[in-house]
Structure 1
Amino acid sequence: MFKLTNEEKYEVIQIVLQSSNIIMSKAESAEDIKTIEQKGFANYVTKIDYDVQNYIEKHILNIFPDHQFLGEEDADHKFDQANPCWILDPVDGTKNLILDMHHSSTSLAFWNGNDLNFAIIYNPFLDELYEANRNEGSYLIRNIKQQTIRTKEYYNLQKTKLIINNISDLSHAIVAFGSSPYDRGIEINHKVMFQVLYDIFAQTEDIRRFGSAALDLAYIAANRHHIFFESKLRPWDFAAGILIVEESGGIVTNFHNQPVNIFKTSSILSANPTLHKLVLPLIEKIR
C-alpha cells in the first residue's frame, strides 16, 4: 500500500492546475474546440481532452514511474487493483466545454493498492478545487491558483472543510441527476428513468441537470445540492467524487445499496445517510 507525502500531493495539485491552462487557453481556440471526435451517441472528445490527459499522465508518471494510470481517453483500460493507480477524467463535462458553459472539471483519484486514498476535482472556470484524503476530511479550496503563487507549502493552503448537511426531509432536498445519454436504447430504459425522476421530483424541492458527474458529487459534499443519482457511470466519472463525498460524511452506493466497485461501470446514488435511505426505494424501478 503506497502512501503519498504532503509534498507529493502538492506536486499533483500543481500538475492539475497547470493542465487547466490548456483548457483555459484552448477553449478560446475555435480550431481546438471544434476538433471533435464522437466516441458514441452523445459521447464526445475534443483535442483539449487528449492534451490535458497527456499532460497529466506524463507528469504523474514522471513522479511515480511504477504506478498505473487509468485515463478516460486511453485505448487500453487494463490495470492491477493490487497496485497503485491514478484514475483520471481530463475533462468531465466535455459537451459543456463545447457549448462554452464553463461547467467542466478535471477529476483525479489515487488508488493506493487497497482503497481510494486521495482525490481532487478542479473547476478551472471558477478556480475551485475539491480535495479529500482518506480519514482526513474533504475540503474546498477557492482561488487556488492565486494561493499557490503565494505559498509553496501544502499545509498553508486556505481550505474550507466540507461537512454534509443533516437534511432529513425529502421535501427540502435539491436533486441532481444524470441521464446517461451514452447508453440510450442499449441497457437503460429511459422512459422508466424519467418516470422515476417524476416520482422523485414530486417528493423533493427541485431537480437539476448539470452535465458533469464529478462536479455533481463534489457539490453533494459542498451542500450545493443534496441528492445525486445516475444509472450508468464509468470509474473516471466517480472515483474522485466518491472519496470527497465519503470524507464529508455522505454516502455513495449503487442503486442496489451496495458499495461501488471503482474499477467497473456502475450506477451511483449519493446523499447524506438519511436522504439516501429515503430516496433509495424511489430508485427501485431503474435498478
Structure 2
Amino acid sequence: MANWTKIDQTVKRWIQEAGTNIRASFTNSLTIQTKSNPNDLVTNVDQETERFFIENIRSHFPDHRILGEEGQGDQIKSLDGVIWMIDPIDGTMNFVHQQRNFAISIGIYEDGIGQLGYIYDIVHDELYHARKGHGAWMNDTPLQKLEQVPVETAILGISATWLINNRHFDQNKLIQLAKDVRGVRSYGSAALELAYVASGRLSAYITMRNAPWDFAGGKMIVEEAGGIVSTISGEDIDMLSINPVFAAAPGLYEDILKKYLS
C-alpha cells in the first residue's frame, strides 16, 4: 500500500528543486522545437525537467508508472496501479515569450482515483497542492471551500479560440456565456487556470482540448476545494485521453452546464 504522506513530502522537495532549476534557466538560451504545429512548443528545459522527475520516480518508486507530456515516460493503456501524470512546464509558450504564467503540473492517481495533485507557479512561488480527503492548499494556507457564485458575478477562464468558429462546440453558446459573466480571462496554462478555480481567482474554466497531464493535478485540487470537474457535457473525464474540460464552483457548475453547455 502506498505511503501517501511520504510520497507527498518527496514530491514537494522535487518540485522545489525543479522550480529552482527552471528559474535559473531564465538567463540561458533555449533550444525550442515544435511538435504537432508551429504553436505547440517544447524546449530543452521542458525535456530536462520531465527527465528529472522520471529519473527520481524510477529510483524511488520503481513500481509506479509515468505518463509525461514529452513522451519520456511509459506507454499507459490502463489506469491500474499508481500513475504519475506530469507536465514539466504547462504553458510553454508563456515560458518562452513571457517567463511567467506557466507551471509544473503533477497528478498522482491510483487505480484511476486521484490521490495527490500539485500545480507550482514557479515565478510567484505558489504551490497549489491537494491530497485526497485532506483538502486543498496554496503553500501552507488551506484553500477555503468554494461557495456558489451567480453567473452574473462570475469570472470565466476561457481562450478566445473557443469564442470564434471552431469544430468542437457551438461558439454562440460560449459567446453568450462570455457576455453574461462579469469578466473573461485567459492565462495560457490549463494547470494555472484550474488552480485559480480552486482558489477562487476564477469561478469557472472551460476548454475543448486538454490532455491528461494538463488537468490531472488541477482536477484533484479543484475537487478537494469543493469544486466540480467534468467534460463540457457533464460526464466523467477519461484520464487517458484528450478531453473537453469544465471546472467550476458548485451551483455555478450546474447553472452553466444547464443553460450554456447543454
TM-score bracket for this pair, using the shorter chain length:
over 0.9
Q: What SS does structure 1 have at the residue aligned with 2:88? A: strand
CA distance in 2: counterparts of 1:165 and 1:137, whole angstroms: 11
CA contact (8 A) 2:49 2:88 kept: yes
Question: How big is the shift at 1:179?
Answer: 5.3
Question: How big is the shift at 1:177?
Answer: 1.2
CA contact (8 A) 2:87 2:214 kept: yes
Counting aligned pairs with the same residue, the percent is 27
TM-score, normalising length: structure 2: 0.92
Q: What SS does structure 2 have at the residue aligned with 1:257? A: coil
Query: Structure 1 residue 174 and structure 2 residue 171: aligned?
Result: no
CA contact (8 A) 2:149 2:203 kept: no
- CA-based RMSD: 2.1
User: How big is each residue's C-alpha offset from its partner over 1:243-286, in whole Å with a ceiling of 9 and x where there is no partner?
Assistant: 1000000000101101112121111111112101111135437x
Alignment size in residue pairs: 259
Q: What SS does structure 1 have at the residue aligned with 2:27? A: coil
Name the residue aligned to 2:60: 63
CA contact (8 A) 1:174 1:206 kept: yes
Name the residue aligned to 1:38: 34
Gaps of 5+ in 1: 142-158
Q: Provide closer, same or farther for how the CA distance between residues 180 and 62 of structure 1 changes in structure 2, counting only shifts above 3 A.
A: farther
CA contact (8 A) 1:105 1:122 kept: yes
Name the residue aligned to 1:151: none
Gaps of 5+ in 2: none
CA contact (8 A) 1:139 1:161 kept: yes
CA distance in 2: counterparts of 1:23 and 1:109, whole angstroms: 20
Q: Counterparts of 1:1-287 in structure 2 under 5 Å?
A: 2-29=1-28, 31-32=29-30, 35-41=31-37, 42-74=39-71, 77-141=75-139, 159-178=140-159, 188-189=166-167, 192-193=170-171, 195-284=172-261
CA distance in 2: counterparts of 1:140 and 1:196, whole angstroms: 33
Question: How big is the shift at 1:165?
Answer: 3.2
Q: Provide closer, same or farther for how the CA distance between residues 246 and 58 of structure 1 changes in structure 2, counting only shifts above 3 A.
A: same
